[in-house]
Amino acid sequence: MKALTRTDFQFPGQVSKYTGKVRDVYSIGSNFLIMVATDRISAFDVVLPKGIPFKGQVLNQIASRFLDATADIIPNWKIAEVDPMATIGWRCEPFKVEMVIRGYLTGHAWREYKAGKRTLCGVPLPDGMVENQRFPEPIITPTTKADEGHDEDISKEEIIARGIVGKEDYEKLEAYTRALFQRGTEMAAEKGLILVDTKYEFGKRDGGIMLMDEIHTPDSSRYFYADGYEERLARGEHQKQLSKEFVREWLMANGFQGQEGQQVPEMTEQVVSGITDRYIELYEHITGVPFEKAEGEDIAARIENNIEQFLKKI
């Protein structure tokens, strides 16, 4: 199995390329973006040394489905899925925050809680909670959107006070975030899953707010299996989950949390293929359809050809 870990395309009308942790984003003229979901994988804000075959396809196609399924809630950037690993859409001016919403006390929130903190991003947390317990109501815990390095927790009040997002726009972002999370929760429940937490990115185009980037993928979201959730919670056991958290747990168990001086553990073929299998498992659970591996020995050439053919039409 091959993995695509970098691209270096030159498309007609291309004005810039941005390389993110996972995605390569190409700007075409002033109106369009092409987002290529590579097979890179990151954890603790570090891109790991090996790619995960088919991960980019999983991310792109799950995001594409959920963008279509939520377009009645808020307009989004997607124009078309032009390749299993690439989407073309509208260019927006992004808000400099990521809207994180959490329905359950787990992951980063649990690590903060266990350390004794009882507020997260200005949101008070009840005493006496246990790991993976459901919050009375989902909480929004935004982060700054860092161009490099670590994103940082930030409160609604600080976002508005610092002028990162205006009050009126921020309140719209919160309302959209809750509505999208509710839709994602309902869709997950239909497949026997719990949408635990996720993040959304928004931007502006022609004065209106649009949903950007990916949504409800295993890179941006955490899912538990609904079956057995209550029993595992009562026994204080780990939840059976579909998310990237298993990658973080493997790294932590091998002494890596992205801190200076730490080395990423060896990613053996067995580790890599195991991660591929987990991503495909999530795709099939959340979509309810079998995963069809995209064909082609030369992945980059296939993507380039599909994008160029589409660009001729616009």
Question: Domain residues of the chain, as ranges?
Answer: 94-243
What would the pLDDT profile of 151-177 be if each residue is shown by its tens digit?
A: 789 999 999 999 999 999 999 999 999
Q: Which residue has the tokens 């799950």?
A: 62
Confidence of residue 244 (pLDDT cuts 50, 70, 90): confident
Q: Give the amino acid at 189.
A: A
Burial of 163 (0-12, 13-18, 19+ CB in 10 A): exposed
Burial of 266 (0-12, 13-18, 19+ CB in 10 A): exposed
Looking at residue 18, its pLDDT comes to: 95
- Name the percent of the chain lying above pLDDT 90: 88
Q: Which bin fits 274, alpha (ψ -120 to 50), beta or left (φ > 0)?
A: alpha
Cα 181 off chain centre by:
13
- Domain 94-243 part of CATH 3.30.470.20: yes
Confidence of residue 245 (pLDDT cuts 50, 70, 90): confident
What would the pLDDT profile of 61-98 be if each residue is shown by its tens digit?
A: 999 999 999 999 999 999 999 999 999 999 999 999 99
Q: How far is CA 188 from CA 25, 64, 172, 220, 238, in A?
A: 28, 16, 24, 14, 20
Looking at residue 146, its pLDDT comes to: 66
Looking at residue 249, its pLDDT comes to: 87
Check residue 30 and report its DSSP letter: T
Average pLDDT over residues 223-250: 91
Cα separation, 195 vs 149, in Å, equals 27
Looking at residue 114, its pLDDT comes to: 97
- pLDDT of 181 above 60: yes
For the chain, the average pLDDT equals 94
What would the pLDDT profile of 103-120 be if each residue is shown by its tens digit?
A: 999 999 999 999 999 999
Question: What number of other Cβ atoms are within 10 A of residue 235's Cβ?
Answer: 9
Comparing CA positions, the residue from 291, 305, 109 lying closest to residue 197 is: 109
Average pLDDT over residues 13-24: 95
Looking at residue 147, its pLDDT comes to: 61
Q: How far is CA 231 from CA 103, 132, 196, 293, in A?
A: 18, 12, 17, 35
